[in-house]
Structure 1
Amino acid sequence: MKTLTLNIKARFVPVEKDNEKSPDLRALCGPIEIGAGWRKAAKDTGRLYHSVKLDDPSFPGPIYASLVEIDGGYALIWSR
């Protein structure tokens, strides 16, 4: 994840779900958990993506984003 004030390497790791509301992914920066993602399908197209929430005490607030597959890779898309 890279912005004007943030430059970190994060990875999304699949996790076993405890229940249907548990996240499908954990977002990690090294050993530190900075967020989670839940698998969803777009209402209009049915295309799969992950709804992601990233947070850290250094952030002014949580970042809500979509993790989508693009051309064999992934893109993290957010808006404010």
Structure 2
Amino acid sequence: MAGRVDQNHHWRAIFPSRFAASSRSKIARRSGPPLTLRPFGSVAPDPVHLVGASAREWFRPTIRRPAMPAIGYVTKDENGTFKGQLRTLSIRAEIAIVPNTNKARTVQPDYRVLSSDVEIGAGWNRRAETSGRDYVSLSLAAPEFGPRRLYANLGRVPGDDERFAIIWNPAD
């Protein structure tokens, strides 16, 4: 049909790979944009009115960072002790991360991790290579964790200067 106007010419400009010829049928397949590209609760504007940068901004996919696997949150006291709760699927325990006042050598931990006056781990002060931020690297071991150690990092919660998150750091 020579006089027929292509109804999909706007979508072809935005999603050229969606209208590529099929290797089986040599006929251009029609497929609309993915539904996930539109912000939640909004209505897509008529593509005829989208031009230039506004079209690219509207259909740009949202990039989400994966959620951090926080296994607990603590707050810091004025004496440098962190107090809070360690929470996993099977464990809920009040913990205290206290400075190691008996540290004699640099290889000894900077912090001791206690739960009900039982030592369950240790922590070392570290500095991130890329951001230069300070954090505490934790190593935890208890019968409840099984035969392996639990590794985690203690760092500030973004946007909250008083809370610190215990972020699980899988060993493998």
Tell whether the structures are fold-level matches, with TM greater than 0.5.
yes
Computed over aligned residues only, the root mean square deviation of the Cα atoms, in angstroms, reads: 1.0
TM-score for both structures, normalised by structure 1? 0.92
Residue 62 of structure 1 is matched in structure 2 by 149
Q: Distance in 1 between matches of 2:90 and 2:143?
A: 14
Q: Secondary structure at the match of 1:9?
A: strand
Partner of 2:136: 50
3-state SS of paired residue (2:93):
coil
Q: Deviations over 1:12-58 (max 9, x none)?
A: 00112211111111000011000000000000111000000000123
The residue type equivalent to 2:131 in the other structure is: T
Unaligned stretches of 5+ residues in structure 1: none
Higher relative contact order (CA 8 A, sep 6+): 1
Number of equivalent positions: 80
Say whether residues 1:13 and 2:98 are aligned partners: yes
Q: Which runs of 4+ in 1 moved over 2 A?
A: none
Aligned to 2:142, the other structure's residue is in SS state coil
Larger radius of gyration: 2
For 2:50, the equivalent position in structure 1 comes to none
Task: Flag structure 2 segments of 5+ consecutive residues without an equivalent.
Answer: 1-85
* 1:5 partner SS: coil
Q: Distance in 2 between matches of 1:45 and 1:79?
A: 18
Identity of aligned residues (%): 38
